[in-house]
Amino acid sequence: MRRFRSDDPRWSDVTPKSLFLSRRAVLSGVGAFAVAGPAFARYSVDEAPTSLEAITSYNNFYEFGFGKEDPKRHAGAMTIDPWSVKIDGLVEKPGTYDLADVTKGQTIEERIYRFRCVEAWSMIVPWMGFELSGLLNRVGVLPGAKYVAFETLARPEEMPGVRKMNLDYPYVEGLRLDEAMHPLTLMATGLYGEPMPKQNGAPIRLVVPWKYGFKSIKSIVRISLMDREPPTTWNMLQPQEYGFYANVNPQVDHPRWSQASERRIGEGLFAKRRDTLMFNGYADEVAGLYAGMDLARFY
């Protein structure tokens, strides 16, 4: 984990590109020097990534069914090319952007993040992606905007869960604008150095590592800048169980289970559970966003 805050001047000479290169150096076995350097630690956690096999075969993507294996089994049918994202609401340059235009000018880097589902399991995922702030700055956020709303593709012909309407589709999520602009908030386009697997939300999804996984909406087709808090899928379904904020918090239990600990996928069913960390271990970076807020009330 990082040792300094993001605004610490000691980071000033560390560019995202050099971070990426140092990580590559580590992967290719260049050695301990690169591992020890603070550049490596800036936004990535120093924990062993969960296997590609586990990350791509134990999924939540209800558009393809409730079961953890359903997304891997059915997501192959999803057409991801061509792909476009409608960006609208309180922006200077609204429009329908094709995928190449969404990623244009953004630095894609590797970020190894903790990922904690509200169901009390977790993984370590080596995402590829760029900061959402880069895209929002490019399209120009207008002064009245306070929230960002996201929407997933809902294509019944290709999605058995959507055909059955096992949830209210399209799946929608949202962030407060300051959360969306935070440097940890990623538009992820891949993992393990490869384009995003369909079951993980190809071709582009959100990753917000300090929040429960359901905030990290997959296969995004629309981003809207709003002046008020947008409705979100799980909150609409069960408001007393799933809040808008959904920050990982070991002190605020889900009404039906404890959030104090978690099962790390890949360690086996009999491995010792791990303690869940406040803001999923990203408190140094994000606690300031919630200063003065009652996190038991705004769960």
Ligand X SMILES: Nc1nc2c(c(=O)[nH]1)N[C@H]1C(S)=C(S)[C@@H](COP(=O)(O)O)O[C@H]1N2
**Residues in the annotated binding site for Mo-molybdopterin:** 59, 62-63, 117, 152, 200, 205, 216-218
| The one among 117, 148, 184, 206 contacting Mo ion by CB under 5 A | 117
- Rounded Cα distance between 201 and 69, Å, is 14
Asked if 65 interacts with ligand X (CB under 6 A), we say no
CB closer to ligand X out of 118 and 141: 118
| The one among 91, 117, 128, 149 contacting ligand X by CB under 6 A | 117
Tokens of 209: 């590592």
In residues, how long is the chain? Answer: 299
Asked if 61 interacts with ligand X (CB under 6 A), we say yes
Residue nearest to ligand X (CB): 213
Asked if 213 interacts with Mo ion (CB under 5 A), we say yes
Asked if 71 interacts with Mo ion (CB under 5 A), we say no
Q: Which residues pair with 191 in a beta bridge?
A: 127, 194
217 binds, among Mo ion, ligand X, none (CB under 5 to 8 A by kind): ligand X
Strand order in the sheet with 172-176: 95-98, 84-89, 220-226, 147-152, 172-176
Asked if 216 interacts with ligand X (CB under 6 A), we say yes
Amino acid identity of residue 93, one-letter, is: K
- Rounded Cα distance between 45 and 87, Å, is 31
Find the part of the chain contacting ligand X (CB under 6 A) among 20-28, 61-69, 72-80, 272-280: 61-69
Q: Three-state SS string across 9-73, please?
A: HHHCCCCHHHHHHHHHHHHCCCCHHHHHCHHHHCCCCCCCCCCHHHHHHCCCCHHHCCCCCHHHH
Asked if 280 interacts with ligand X (CB under 6 A), we say no
* 130 neighbors 136 (Cβ within 8 angstroms): no
Question: Among candidates 202, 290, 162, 299, which has minimal Cα distance to 242?
Answer: 299
Find the part of the chain contacting Mo ion (CB under 5 A) among 34-42, 76-84, 111-119, 120-128: 111-119
Amino acid identity of residue 177, one-letter, is: L
Asked if 218 interacts with ligand X (CB under 6 A), we say yes
Asked if 214 interacts with Mo ion (CB under 5 A), we say yes
| The one among 22, 44, 50, 59 contacting ligand X by CB under 6 A | 59
Please give the helix or strand (H or E) that residue 177 lies within, else none.
helix 177-180
171 binds, among ligand X, Mo ion, none (CB under 5 to 8 A by kind): ligand X
152 binds, among ligand X, Mo ion, none (CB under 5 to 8 A by kind): ligand X
CB closer to ligand X out of 67 and 140: 67
| DSSP conformation class of 157 | G
In Å, how far are 72, 75, 106 from 164, measured between CA atoms? Answer: 18, 15, 37
Site track 166-205 with ligand X (rule: CB under 6 A), x = hit:
-----x----------------------------xx----
CB of 117 to Mo ion, least distance (A): 3
Residues that bind Mo ion (CB under 5 A): 60, 117, 213-214
Residues that bind ligand X (CB under 6 A): 59-63, 117, 152, 171, 200-201, 213-214, 216-219
